[in-house]
Structure 1
Amino acid sequence: MNTILWEVNYLSPPKITRRCAGCGAKTEHICSGLFRVNAQKKRLDVWLVYRCARCKGTWNLTILSRVNPNGVGPETLRRYVENDAALARSYAMDEDFLARAGADTEPAEYSVCGAEFDPAAQTRLRIVSACPSKLRVARLIRQKLNLSKRDFDALLERGTIRMEGGADVARAKLGKEAIVYFAARAPGE
Protein backbone atom coordinates (compact mmCIF):
# COMPACT_ATOMS: atom_id res chain seq x y z
CA MET A 1 0.00 0.00 0.00
CA ASN A 2 1.31 3.41 -1.00
CA THR A 3 1.52 6.09 1.72
CA ILE A 4 1.01 9.75 0.84
CA LEU A 5 1.58 12.74 3.15
CA TRP A 6 -0.34 15.99 2.75
CA GLU A 7 0.57 19.03 4.82
CA VAL A 8 -1.94 21.81 5.40
CA ASN A 9 -0.04 25.12 5.40
CA TYR A 10 -1.85 28.22 6.60
CA LEU A 11 -1.15 31.36 4.61
CA SER A 12 -2.56 33.63 7.33
CA PRO A 13 -4.44 33.35 10.62
CA PRO A 14 -8.25 33.43 10.54
CA LYS A 15 -9.66 36.93 10.12
CA ILE A 16 -11.98 38.19 12.82
CA THR A 17 -15.10 40.17 11.99
CA ARG A 18 -16.30 42.48 14.74
CA ARG A 19 -17.63 45.96 15.34
CA CYS A 20 -14.89 48.57 15.12
CA ALA A 21 -15.29 51.60 17.40
CA GLY A 22 -13.32 53.78 14.96
CA CYS A 23 -15.28 52.83 11.83
CA GLY A 24 -18.64 52.46 13.56
CA ALA A 25 -19.35 49.27 11.59
CA LYS A 26 -18.53 45.56 11.49
CA THR A 27 -15.12 45.20 9.87
CA GLU A 28 -12.38 42.65 9.38
CA HIS A 29 -9.68 42.61 12.07
CA ILE A 30 -6.25 41.14 11.44
CA CYS A 31 -3.81 39.82 14.04
CA SER A 32 -0.86 42.20 14.49
CA GLY A 33 1.32 39.49 16.05
CA LEU A 34 1.88 41.76 19.07
CA PHE A 35 0.98 41.30 22.72
CA ARG A 36 -0.01 43.98 25.20
CA VAL A 37 1.13 43.15 28.71
CA ASN A 38 -0.02 45.11 31.76
CA ALA A 39 0.92 44.50 35.38
CA GLN A 40 -0.99 46.23 38.19
CA LYS A 41 0.35 45.50 41.66
CA LYS A 42 0.22 41.70 41.92
CA ARG A 43 -1.94 40.99 38.88
CA LEU A 44 -1.08 40.48 35.21
CA ASP A 45 -3.15 41.02 32.06
CA VAL A 46 -2.12 39.89 28.56
CA TRP A 47 -3.90 40.65 25.28
CA LEU A 48 -3.24 39.79 21.64
CA VAL A 49 -3.61 42.95 19.54
CA TYR A 50 -5.77 42.93 16.40
CA ARG A 51 -6.01 45.82 13.93
CA CYS A 52 -9.03 46.95 11.93
CA ALA A 53 -8.34 46.41 8.22
CA ARG A 54 -10.02 49.76 7.41
CA CYS A 55 -8.92 52.31 9.99
CA LYS A 56 -6.03 50.46 11.73
CA GLY A 57 -7.78 50.91 15.09
CA THR A 58 -6.93 48.22 17.63
CA TRP A 59 -8.88 45.60 19.51
CA ASN A 60 -7.29 43.60 22.31
CA LEU A 61 -8.20 39.92 22.58
CA THR A 62 -7.86 38.81 26.21
CA ILE A 63 -5.41 35.98 26.78
CA LEU A 64 -4.84 36.32 30.53
CA SER A 65 -6.87 38.47 32.90
CA ARG A 66 -5.95 39.40 36.47
CA VAL A 67 -3.66 36.42 37.05
CA ASN A 68 -0.79 36.11 39.47
CA PRO A 69 2.47 36.59 37.49
CA ASN A 70 4.10 33.74 39.45
CA GLY A 71 1.57 31.34 37.93
CA VAL A 72 2.59 32.19 34.36
CA GLY A 73 6.20 31.07 34.36
CA PRO A 74 9.23 33.20 33.47
CA GLU A 75 9.74 31.74 29.97
CA THR A 76 6.12 32.29 28.92
CA LEU A 77 6.12 35.79 30.40
CA ARG A 78 9.31 36.60 28.48
CA ARG A 79 7.66 35.40 25.25
CA TYR A 80 4.67 37.70 25.86
CA VAL A 81 6.87 40.72 26.64
CA GLU A 82 9.15 40.11 23.62
CA ASN A 83 6.17 39.57 21.25
CA ASP A 84 7.20 36.03 20.33
CA ALA A 85 5.85 35.51 16.78
CA ALA A 86 5.32 31.75 17.19
CA LEU A 87 3.32 32.24 20.39
CA ALA A 88 1.19 35.00 18.82
CA ARG A 89 0.52 32.80 15.80
CA SER A 90 -0.45 29.83 17.99
CA TYR A 91 -3.12 31.96 19.72
CA ALA A 92 -4.28 33.53 16.44
CA MET A 93 -4.63 30.09 14.81
CA ASP A 94 -6.44 28.43 17.74
CA GLU A 95 -10.05 28.39 16.53
CA ASP A 96 -11.33 26.98 19.83
CA PHE A 97 -9.62 29.77 21.80
CA LEU A 98 -11.04 32.40 19.43
CA ALA A 99 -14.54 30.91 19.76
CA ARG A 100 -14.30 30.88 23.58
CA ALA A 101 -13.28 34.55 23.41
CA GLY A 102 -16.46 35.28 21.43
CA ALA A 103 -14.66 36.13 18.18
CA ASP A 104 -16.55 35.72 14.90
CA THR A 105 -13.93 34.17 12.60
CA GLU A 106 -13.61 33.61 8.88
CA PRO A 107 -11.75 30.46 7.79
CA ALA A 108 -7.99 30.85 7.41
CA GLU A 109 -6.52 30.72 3.93
CA TYR A 110 -4.50 27.57 3.38
CA SER A 111 -2.76 25.41 0.83
CA VAL A 112 -2.30 21.65 0.81
CA CYS A 113 1.15 20.36 -0.13
CA GLY A 114 1.54 16.77 -1.22
CA ALA A 115 1.19 14.44 -4.16
CA GLU A 116 -2.08 13.76 -5.92
CA PHE A 117 -3.05 10.13 -6.49
CA ASP A 118 -5.73 7.94 -8.01
CA PRO A 119 -8.44 7.36 -5.36
CA ALA A 120 -9.01 3.88 -6.84
CA ALA A 121 -5.44 2.85 -5.94
CA GLN A 122 -4.70 1.33 -2.54
CA THR A 123 -3.40 4.33 -0.64
CA ARG A 124 -2.89 5.40 2.96
CA LEU A 125 -3.29 9.18 3.13
CA ARG A 126 -1.92 11.02 6.16
CA ILE A 127 -3.05 14.66 6.42
CA VAL A 128 -1.24 16.82 9.00
CA SER A 129 -1.65 20.37 10.24
CA ALA A 130 0.74 22.34 12.45
CA CYS A 131 -2.27 23.90 14.22
CA PRO A 132 -5.49 22.22 15.33
CA SER A 133 -7.95 22.73 12.49
CA LYS A 134 -11.70 22.50 12.00
CA LEU A 135 -11.29 21.95 8.25
CA ARG A 136 -13.36 19.03 7.03
CA VAL A 137 -11.30 16.09 5.78
CA ALA A 138 -13.77 15.54 2.92
CA ARG A 139 -13.31 19.11 1.71
CA LEU A 140 -9.52 18.77 1.68
CA ILE A 141 -9.69 15.51 -0.28
CA ARG A 142 -12.22 16.85 -2.79
CA GLN A 143 -10.20 20.02 -3.41
CA LYS A 144 -6.81 18.35 -3.69
CA LEU A 145 -8.00 15.50 -5.94
CA ASN A 146 -10.39 17.73 -7.94
CA LEU A 147 -13.36 15.49 -7.13
CA SER A 148 -16.93 16.69 -7.54
CA LYS A 149 -19.26 16.17 -4.59
CA ARG A 150 -21.07 13.53 -6.64
CA ASP A 151 -17.86 11.59 -7.40
CA PHE A 152 -16.74 11.85 -3.77
CA ASP A 153 -20.12 10.62 -2.50
CA ALA A 154 -19.95 7.67 -4.92
CA LEU A 155 -16.55 6.68 -3.46
CA LEU A 156 -18.05 6.86 0.04
CA GLU A 157 -21.04 4.72 -0.93
CA ARG A 158 -18.79 2.03 -2.41
CA GLY A 159 -16.69 2.01 0.76
CA THR A 160 -13.59 3.07 -1.19
CA ILE A 161 -12.72 5.76 1.37
CA ARG A 162 -12.42 4.97 5.08
CA MET A 163 -10.92 6.80 8.02
CA GLU A 164 -8.68 5.21 10.58
CA GLY A 165 -10.76 4.60 13.69
CA GLY A 166 -13.98 4.35 11.70
CA ALA A 167 -14.93 8.05 11.82
CA ASP A 168 -17.35 9.38 9.20
CA VAL A 169 -15.14 10.79 6.40
CA ALA A 170 -17.86 13.20 5.26
CA ARG A 171 -18.13 14.82 8.71
CA ALA A 172 -14.67 14.38 10.23
CA LYS A 173 -12.59 17.45 11.03
CA LEU A 174 -8.85 17.46 10.61
CA GLY A 175 -7.64 18.45 14.07
CA LYS A 176 -3.85 18.02 13.87
CA GLU A 177 -3.86 14.77 11.91
CA ALA A 178 -6.16 12.47 9.97
CA ILE A 179 -5.43 9.13 8.31
CA VAL A 180 -7.63 8.04 5.42
CA TYR A 181 -7.52 4.75 3.50
CA PHE A 182 -8.47 4.47 -0.16
CA ALA A 183 -9.54 1.21 -1.87
CA ALA A 184 -8.54 -0.77 1.19
CA ARG A 185 -9.72 -1.59 4.66
CA ALA A 186 -8.22 0.29 7.58
CA PRO A 187 -6.10 -1.82 9.97
CA GLY A 188 -8.26 -3.68 12.49
CA GLU A 189 -11.34 -3.85 10.23
Structure 2
Amino acid sequence: MKKIIWKIEPLGLPLVLRHCKKCGKTSEFSCSGQFRVNAQRKYLDIWLIYKCAKCDTTWNAAVYSRVSPQALNANLLEGFYSNEEGLARQYAMDFQFLKGNGADVLRPSCSVLGDIPASGEVSEVEIQSEYPFPVKVSTLVRDKLCLSQKDYLERVTEGKIRSSAGQDLRKCRLKNGMVLIFQ
Protein backbone atom coordinates (compact mmCIF):
# COMPACT_ATOMS: atom_id res chain seq x y z
CA MET A 1 0.00 0.00 0.00
CA LYS A 2 1.41 3.35 -1.06
CA LYS A 3 1.37 6.11 1.59
CA ILE A 4 0.69 9.69 0.54
CA ILE A 5 0.51 12.83 2.68
CA TRP A 6 -1.77 15.74 1.82
CA LYS A 7 -0.99 18.97 3.67
CA ILE A 8 -3.75 21.54 3.98
CA GLU A 9 -2.34 25.05 3.58
CA PRO A 10 -4.64 28.02 4.23
CA LEU A 11 -4.29 30.74 1.60
CA GLY A 12 -5.13 33.46 4.11
CA LEU A 13 -6.76 34.10 7.45
CA PRO A 14 -10.51 33.57 7.70
CA LEU A 15 -12.81 36.56 7.57
CA VAL A 16 -15.49 36.91 10.22
CA LEU A 17 -18.97 38.33 9.95
CA ARG A 18 -20.01 40.82 12.64
CA HIS A 19 -22.36 43.73 12.95
CA CYS A 20 -20.43 46.92 12.17
CA LYS A 21 -21.68 49.90 14.18
CA LYS A 22 -20.38 52.41 11.65
CA CYS A 23 -21.76 50.61 8.55
CA GLY A 24 -25.01 49.75 10.37
CA LYS A 25 -25.11 46.19 9.01
CA THR A 26 -23.31 42.86 9.07
CA SER A 27 -19.88 43.22 7.49
CA GLU A 28 -16.75 41.20 6.92
CA PHE A 29 -13.94 41.82 9.38
CA SER A 30 -10.32 40.80 8.78
CA CYS A 31 -7.64 40.10 11.34
CA SER A 32 -5.16 42.96 11.74
CA GLY A 33 -2.53 40.64 13.22
CA GLN A 34 -2.23 42.88 16.26
CA PHE A 35 -3.13 42.45 19.91
CA ARG A 36 -4.30 45.07 22.35
CA VAL A 37 -3.14 44.61 25.92
CA ASN A 38 -4.80 46.79 28.52
CA ALA A 39 -3.83 46.89 32.19
CA GLN A 40 -6.55 47.30 34.81
CA ARG A 41 -4.74 47.60 38.15
CA LYS A 42 -3.33 44.10 38.76
CA TYR A 43 -5.06 42.45 35.82
CA LEU A 44 -4.76 42.40 32.03
CA ASP A 45 -7.29 42.34 29.24
CA ILE A 46 -5.97 41.02 25.93
CA TRP A 47 -7.77 41.27 22.57
CA LEU A 48 -7.04 40.34 18.98
CA ILE A 49 -7.99 43.29 16.76
CA TYR A 50 -10.16 42.90 13.66
CA LYS A 51 -11.03 45.62 11.14
CA CYS A 52 -14.16 46.10 9.03
CA ALA A 53 -13.33 45.55 5.35
CA LYS A 54 -15.47 48.55 4.35
CA CYS A 55 -14.84 51.27 6.91
CA ASP A 56 -11.86 50.15 9.09
CA THR A 57 -13.94 50.14 12.27
CA THR A 58 -12.26 47.85 14.79
CA TRP A 59 -13.68 44.94 16.71
CA ASN A 60 -11.74 43.37 19.57
CA ALA A 61 -11.98 39.60 20.02
CA ALA A 62 -11.33 38.85 23.70
CA VAL A 63 -8.37 36.52 24.21
CA TYR A 64 -8.08 37.00 28.01
CA SER A 65 -10.22 39.03 30.33
CA ARG A 66 -9.08 40.15 33.79
CA VAL A 67 -6.14 37.76 33.93
CA SER A 68 -3.18 38.16 36.25
CA PRO A 69 0.10 38.69 34.35
CA GLN A 70 1.70 36.04 36.57
CA ALA A 71 -0.87 33.49 35.36
CA LEU A 72 0.49 33.70 31.81
CA ASN A 73 3.71 32.20 30.50
CA ALA A 74 6.31 34.98 30.07
CA ASN A 75 6.93 34.04 26.41
CA LEU A 76 3.20 34.08 25.66
CA LEU A 77 2.79 37.49 27.30
CA GLU A 78 5.76 38.84 25.33
CA GLY A 79 4.12 37.47 22.16
CA PHE A 80 1.00 39.52 22.90
CA TYR A 81 3.06 42.67 23.58
CA SER A 82 5.17 42.28 20.43
CA ASN A 83 2.22 41.30 18.17
CA GLU A 84 3.90 38.02 17.25
CA GLU A 85 2.63 36.98 13.82
CA GLY A 86 2.44 33.25 14.58
CA LEU A 87 0.47 33.86 17.76
CA ALA A 88 -2.02 36.14 15.99
CA ARG A 89 -2.39 33.53 13.23
CA GLN A 90 -3.00 30.79 15.82
CA TYR A 91 -5.90 32.72 17.37
CA ALA A 92 -7.27 33.91 14.01
CA MET A 93 -7.42 30.30 12.77
CA ASP A 94 -9.17 29.05 15.93
CA PHE A 95 -12.81 28.81 14.86
CA GLN A 96 -13.99 27.93 18.40
CA PHE A 97 -12.26 31.03 19.79
CA LEU A 98 -13.95 33.24 17.17
CA LYS A 99 -17.38 31.65 17.65
CA GLY A 100 -16.96 32.12 21.41
CA ASN A 101 -16.53 35.82 20.68
CA GLY A 102 -19.83 35.91 18.78
CA ALA A 103 -18.45 35.92 15.23
CA ASP A 104 -19.59 33.89 12.24
CA VAL A 105 -16.45 32.57 10.58
CA LEU A 106 -16.06 32.31 6.82
CA ARG A 107 -13.96 29.33 5.72
CA PRO A 108 -10.65 30.50 4.29
CA SER A 109 -9.49 29.28 0.91
CA CYS A 110 -6.95 26.52 1.18
CA SER A 111 -4.81 24.38 -1.06
CA VAL A 112 -4.17 20.67 -0.76
CA LEU A 113 -0.49 19.86 -1.31
CA GLY A 114 0.53 16.30 -2.15
CA ASP A 115 0.43 13.59 -4.78
CA ILE A 116 -2.75 12.21 -6.31
CA PRO A 117 -3.29 8.48 -5.69
CA ALA A 118 -2.71 6.32 -8.78
CA SER A 119 -5.81 4.83 -10.35
CA GLY A 120 -6.26 1.14 -9.57
CA GLU A 121 -3.59 1.14 -6.85
CA VAL A 122 -4.46 0.95 -3.15
CA SER A 123 -3.20 4.09 -1.41
CA GLU A 124 -3.37 5.42 2.12
CA VAL A 125 -3.73 9.20 2.15
CA GLU A 126 -3.05 11.02 5.41
CA ILE A 127 -4.57 14.48 5.46
CA GLN A 128 -2.62 16.80 7.78
CA SER A 129 -3.58 20.26 8.92
CA GLU A 130 -1.80 22.56 11.33
CA TYR A 131 -5.10 24.22 12.18
CA PRO A 132 -8.48 22.63 12.93
CA PHE A 133 -10.54 23.34 9.80
CA PRO A 134 -14.29 22.73 9.94
CA VAL A 135 -14.22 21.98 6.21
CA LYS A 136 -15.93 18.92 4.76
CA VAL A 137 -13.55 16.18 3.71
CA SER A 138 -15.67 15.69 0.59
CA THR A 139 -14.88 19.26 -0.51
CA LEU A 140 -11.12 18.73 -0.11
CA VAL A 141 -11.10 15.40 -1.94
CA ARG A 142 -13.34 16.62 -4.76
CA ASP A 143 -11.21 19.75 -5.26
CA LYS A 144 -7.94 17.79 -5.20
CA LEU A 145 -9.14 15.09 -7.60
CA CYS A 146 -11.34 17.39 -9.73
CA LEU A 147 -14.41 15.23 -9.08
CA SER A 148 -18.05 16.18 -9.37
CA GLN A 149 -20.30 15.62 -6.36
CA LYS A 150 -21.92 12.68 -8.19
CA ASP A 151 -18.57 11.00 -9.00
CA TYR A 152 -17.35 11.48 -5.44
CA LEU A 153 -20.51 9.98 -3.90
CA GLU A 154 -20.33 7.07 -6.35
CA ARG A 155 -16.75 6.26 -5.30
CA VAL A 156 -17.62 6.53 -1.60
CA THR A 157 -20.68 4.28 -2.03
CA GLU A 158 -18.62 1.68 -3.93
CA GLY A 159 -15.92 1.77 -1.23
CA LYS A 160 -13.24 3.13 -3.57
CA ILE A 161 -12.73 6.01 -1.13
CA ARG A 162 -13.18 5.30 2.56
CA SER A 163 -12.04 6.50 5.95
CA SER A 164 -9.67 4.27 7.92
CA ALA A 165 -11.66 5.16 11.06
CA GLY A 166 -15.01 4.33 9.45
CA GLN A 167 -16.27 7.93 9.31
CA ASP A 168 -19.09 8.85 6.93
CA LEU A 169 -17.23 10.66 4.13
CA ARG A 170 -20.41 12.32 2.91
CA LYS A 171 -20.71 14.42 6.08
CA CYS A 172 -17.54 14.39 8.17
CA ARG A 173 -15.37 17.43 8.66
CA LEU A 174 -11.58 17.52 8.73
CA LYS A 175 -10.77 19.12 12.09
CA ASN A 176 -7.04 18.30 12.59
CA GLY A 177 -6.50 15.44 10.18
CA MET A 178 -7.53 11.97 9.08
CA VAL A 179 -6.54 8.96 6.99
CA LEU A 180 -8.34 7.91 3.79
CA ILE A 181 -7.99 4.68 1.81
CA PHE A 182 -8.21 4.93 -2.00
CA GLN A 183 -8.70 1.82 -4.16
TM-score (norm 2): 0.95
Give the aligned partner of residue 76 of structure 2: 76
Cα shift at 1:61: 0.6
Asked if structure 1 preserves the Cα contact closer than 8 Å seen for 2:117 and 2:182, the reply is: no
Would you say the 8 A contact 1:137–1:178 is kept in 2? no
Paired residues of 1:161 and 1:182 also in contact (CA < 8 A): yes
Deviation of 1:119 (Å) = 5.0
Cα deviation, 1:67-107, whole Å, max 9, x if unaligned, reads: 11111121111110000100000000011111122111111
Amino acid at match of 1:147: L
Any residues of structure 2 matched to 1:80-91 within 5 Å, and which? 80-91=80-91
Cα distance in structure 2, aligned partners of 1:61 and 1:24: 19
> What is aligned with 1:146?
146
Residue equivalent to 1:49: 49
For the 8 Å contact 1:117–1:145, the answer to whether it is kept is: no
Q: Which runs of 5+ in 2 are unaligned?
A: none
What is the aligned-residue RMSD (CA, Å)?
1.2
Distance (Å, rounded) in 2 between the aligned partners of 1:105 and 1:135? 12
Mapped pair 1:64 → 2:42: no
Partners of 2:12 and 2:109 within 8 A in 1: yes
After TM superposition, the structure 1 = structure 2 runs for residues 159-174 of structure 1, keeping only pairs within 5 Å, are 159-174=159-174
Tell me whether 86-95 or 166-175 shows the greater mean CA deviation: 166-175
Instruction: Name stretches of at least 5 consecutive residues in structure 1 with no aligned partner.
Output: 184-189
Aligned residue identity for 1:53: A
What's the secondary structure of 1:140's corresponding residue?
helix
Q: Which residue of 2 aligns with 1:18?
A: 18
Query: How far does the alpha carbon of each residue in 1:153-182 deviate from its partner, in whole angstroms, 9 at most, with x for none?
Result: 111111122212211122221122111001
Q: Which residue of 2 aligns with 1:135?
A: 135
Q: Which residue of 1 is the match for residue 103 of structure 2? A: 103
Match of 1:94 in 2: 94
The aligned amino acid for 1:38 is: N
Map of 2:31 onto structure 1: 31
TM-score when normalising by structure 1 = 0.92
Quote the sequence identity (%). 38
> 1:156 and 1:62 mapped to 2: Cα distance?
42
